[in-house]
Amino acid sequence: MSTEKNILVLNCGSSSLKFAVINSTTGDTKITGLAERLGSKEATITVKYKGNKQVTELTKNNQHLGAIEYLVSELHANDLSDSLTAVGHRVVHGGEVFTSSAVITDDVIAAIEETSGLAPLHNPANLVGIKAAQATFPSLPQVAVFDTAFHQTMPQKAFMYAVDNDLYNEKGIRRYGFHGTSHYFVSREAAKHLQQQDDQTSVITVHLGNGCSICAIENGNSVDTSMGLTPAEGLVMGTRSGDVDPGLIIYLMNQHNYSAQQIDNLLNKQSGLLGLSKLSNDCRTLEDAVFGNDEAQQQQAKLALDVFCYRVAKYIASYTVALSHLDAIVFTGGIGENSNYIRSQVISQLSILKISLDEQQNELARFGNAGEIQATDSQFRVLVIPTNEEWVIARDAAQLSESK
């Protein structure tokens, strides 16, 4: 019998399943993996354990349950299954019902089902993962950790759209915000770094990955964030447009006969860095193109990154409005943690706020290295902090299942 206490963390997409087994005391990751193209003949599962990576085709059962069954056999083979004490699930939308993580009961499942209309691609997939995990681990407590929960402290002036109030009262249409676990985690890490109490720390957290969002955190609480009813609002992202004039949608529908499906595709899958550059949604590829020799590609990539960085800088400046004081701006996410180029382009547009970078420190804070990267005469600190959403999920799952 194992003496370790480990949590299985599951993050289910419509055709994917990411997982990790994390020690709930130390935060060490034991095993990680990703099942992709679930439901198709090409379904595979990749498992990383002790530095080895192994890719296997899921031929027997190519659904989420099949991926979980495979995962269970891997846990058995590596003596990890006895050590599991709970399962933590990432759930995208918790609506206004969930202001924090919750032990999964029939009522919690019903409430997640009820909010599925607000996240039709994500919540049903999360529920598939929950039900598959319940079937596989009937004796383990299951905990849901919501992307939206951290933002439930936003004041009404920040979460209301200026549209007919009935839409909020009758249909729940408002801004919810996402990436909550990441904004929460890096804001707490920032407080630790600054040696301040969480509830006295005010930061602007900038999560730049494939999805991008920014959050104003006043004394530990989210008071504004850039994603809205759906994760499409706000910053420019890998393939999502972020903010556009709502008139653009009406124009495309009326003048160019776009269907709702085509608009959805355009704004969520063919826009952002990919749409602007016509090259890639991947920031690394675009940076390579900017510094490469192909002039046409250079221009396209530069345009995409310029629009991306200008939007981030504009949001940072506007979020100072939401705060009574600002202890630091915090960069995180694959781009925020690794791209000194993007950080430099963003901060250089904030000179009116007297923020500037030490470019040497900026270059050093990459590839998992946290750091403080502002220049000595900068009015505000700028931090780089790697995010760890899985750890937040594991910790919440451990705490809630123990206090149950």
Q: Which residue is associated with the tokens 């992307």?
A: 147
| Dihedral angle sign, alpha carbons of residues 117, 120, 122, 127 | positive
Please tell me whether 334 is known to bind a ligand: yes
Binding residues for ligand ADP, rule: CB under 6 A, are: 209-211, 238, 282-284, 287, 333-335, 338-339
Judged on CB neighbours under 10 Å (0-12, 13-18, 19+), 214 is: buried
Residue 29 or 210: the one with the smaller Cβ distance to ligand ADP is: 210
Shortest distance, CB of residue 389 to ligand ADP, whole angstroms? 9
The Cα 26–Cα 155 span in angstroms is 35
Shortest spacing between CB 380 and ligand ADP, in angstroms: 23
- How many other CB atoms are there within 10 angstroms of residue 269's CB atom? 14
Nearest to ligand ADP of 101, 182 (CB atom): 182
Is 173 or 237 the residue whose CB approaches ligand ADP more closely?
Answer: 237
The two tokens of residue 171 are: 């249909």
Q: How far from the centroid of its chain's Cα atoms is residue 187's Cα?
A: 14
- Given the residues 79, 82, 106, 147, the one annotated as active site: 147
Is 284 annotated to bind ligand?
A: yes
| 282 labelled binding-site residue | yes
Please state, in angstroms and rounded to a whole number, the distance separating the CA atoms of residues 389 and 29. Answer: 12
Residue 18 is labelled as binding a ligand: yes
Return d(Cα 179, Cα 333) in angstroms, integer. 10
Question: Which class for 22: exposed (0-12), middle (13-18), buried (19 or more C-beta within 10 A)?
Answer: buried
Q: Is 337 annotated to bind ligand?
A: yes
- Would you say 180 is a known binding-site residue? no
Whether 143 contacts 102, CB under 8 Å: yes
CB of 207 to ligand ADP, least distance (A): 8
Contacts of residue 44, defined as CB under 8 A and 6 or more positions apart, other chains included, come to 35, 36, 37, 55, 56, 57, 58
Strands of 171-239, DSSP E: 203-208, 212-218, 221-225
Residue 178 CB, shortest distance to ligand ADP, in Å, is: 11
CB of 210 to ligand ADP, least distance (A): 4
The CB-nearest residue to ligand ADP is 334
Nearer to ligand ADP, 18 or 188 (CB): 18
**How far is the C-alpha of 225 from the C-alpha of 97, rounded, in Å?**
18
Q: How far is the CB of 129 from ligand ADP (least distance, A)?
A: 17
Q: Closest CB to ligand ADP among 213 and 401? A: 213
Please tell me whether 61 is known to bind a ligand: no
**Cα–Cα distances in Å, from 165 out to 62, 161, 172, 320?**
45, 8, 10, 27
Residue 81: CB atoms within 10 Å: 18
Cβ closer to ligand ADP: 22 or 80?
22
**DSSP secondary structure letter of residue 51:** T
Q: Is 12 annotated as a binding residue?
A: no
> Rounded CA gap, 49 and 32, in Å?
7
Task: Give whichever of 222 and 340 is closer to ligand ADP, judged by the CB atom.
Answer: 340
The least distance separating ligand ADP from the CB of residue 182, rounded to whole angstroms, comes to 9
Among 81, 113, 116, smallest CA distance to 8 is for 81
Q: Annotation-wise, does 219 bind a ligand? A: no
147 classed as catalytic: yes
Active site residues: 147
Residue ranges of the annotated binding site for Mg(2+) are: 11, 389
Binding-site residues for substrate: 90
Task: Extract the annotated binding site for ATP.
Answer: 18, 207-211, 282-284, 334-338
Q: Give the residue numbers of the binding site.
A: 11, 18, 90, 207-211, 282-284, 334-338, 389
